[in-house]
Amino acid sequence: MALLEVDDLQVAFDTEDGRLRAVRGLSFSVEAGQTLGIVGESGSGKSVATQSMVGLTRGARISGRALFDGDDLLTMAPENLRALRGNQIGMVFQDPLTSLHPQYTVGWQIQEAILAHEQIRKGEARKRAVDLLGQVGISQPERRVDDFPHQFSGGMRQRAMIAMALSLSPRLLIADEPTTALDVTVQAQVLELMKKLQAEYGTALILITHDLGVVADMADDVLVMYAGRAVEKADRRTLYYRQHHPYSKGLLASVPASAAHAPGERLIPIAGQPPSLLHLPSGCAFHPRCPYVMDVCVSETPELLSVPSIASENRPSENRPASENRPAGGHVSACHLPPEAVGPSPDAESRRERAVAAGRSTPVAVLQDEGAA
Q: Say whether both 239 and 338 belong to one domain.
A: yes
Summarize pLDDT for 34-86 with one digit per residue, the tens.
Answer: 999 999 999 999 999 999 999 999 899 999 999 999 999 999 999 999 889 87
Task: Report the 10 Å Cβ neighbour count for 225.
Answer: 25
- Decide which of 63 and 198 is more confident: 63
**Does residue 127 lie in a domain region?**
yes
Confidence of residue 326 (pLDDT cuts 50, 70, 90): very low
pLDDT at 362: 35
Tell me the residue range of the domain where 256 lies: 230-312+325-363
CB-based contact 68:89 (threshold 8 Å)? yes
| Beta carbons of 180 and 325 less than 8 angstroms apart | no
Angle value at C-alpha 22, between 253 and 43, nearest 5 degrees:
35
CA-CA distance, 346 to 341, in Å (whole number)? 13
Nearest to 68, CA basis, from 58, 60, 59, 55: 55
Mean pLDDT across the chain? 83
Domain end (from 168, 186, 208)? 168
The distance in angstroms from the start CA to the end CA of the chain is: 36
Average the pLDDT over 185-198 and give the result: 79
Reduced to 3 states, what is the DSSP secondary structure of residue 339? helix
- Is residue 213 situated within a structural domain? no
Averaged pLDDT, 176-198: 79
pLDDT digits (tens, 9 = 90+) for 93-151: 877 777 789 999 999 999 998 998 888 999 999 999 999 898 888 899 999 999 999 99
Residue 49 lies in a domain: no
Rounded to 5 degrees, φ, ψ at 347 are: -105, 30
Domain endpoint, select from 168, 188, 204: 168
Q: Is residue 52 part of a domain?
A: no
The pLDDT of residue 222 is above 60: yes
Percent of the chain scoring above 90 in pLDDT: 54
What total of structural domains would you count in the chain?
A: 2
Q: Last residue of a domain, which of 149, 168, 187?
A: 168
Does residue 115 fall inside a structural domain? yes
Judge if 234 and 359 occupy the same domain.
yes
The residue ranking higher by pLDDT, 145 or 356, is: 145
Of 208-217, 323-332, 338-347, the range with the lowest mean pLDDT is: 323-332
Same domain, 147 and 242: no
pLDDT of residue 365 exceeding 60, the answer is no
Task: Looking at the structure, tell me whether residues 254 and 160 fall in a common domain.
Answer: no
Q: How far is CA 317 from CA 241, 299, 326, 330, in A?
A: 15, 43, 10, 21
Instruction: Classify residue 29 by burial, with Cβ atoms within 10 Å: 0-12, 13-18, 19+.
Output: middle
> Which tens digits make up the pLDDT trace of 250-304?
998 887 655 444 556 666 789 999 999 999 999 999 999 999 999 999 999 999 9
Judge whether 67 lies within some domain: no
> Higher confidence at residue 159 or residue 96?
159
- Residue at 291 is within a domain: yes
CA–CA dist 212, 194 (Å, integer): 17
pLDDT exceeds 80 at position 349: no
Strand order in the sheet with 4-15: 18-30, 4-15, 60-68, 71-72
pTM: 0.83
Domain identity same for 347 and 250: yes
CATH number of the structural domain spanning residue 307: 3.40.50.300
User: What's the pLDDT score for residue 263?
Assistant: 56
Q: Which contiguous run of DSSP H or E holds residue 72?
A: strand 71-72
Q: Is residue 8 part of a domain?
A: no
Q: Are strands 4-15 and 89-92 parallel, antiparallel or unpaired?
A: unpaired
Cα 65 to Cα 13: distance, rounded to the nearest angstrom:
18
**Is the Cβ–Cβ distance between 60 and 13 less than 8 Å?**
yes
Are 251 and 339 found together in one domain? Answer: yes
The verdict on 164 and 254 lying in the same domain is: no
Q: Collect all residues with Cβ–Cβ distance below 8 Å to 155 and sequence separation of at least 6.
A: 182, 183, 186, 189, 190
CA pair distance 363, 373, nearest whole angstrom: 11
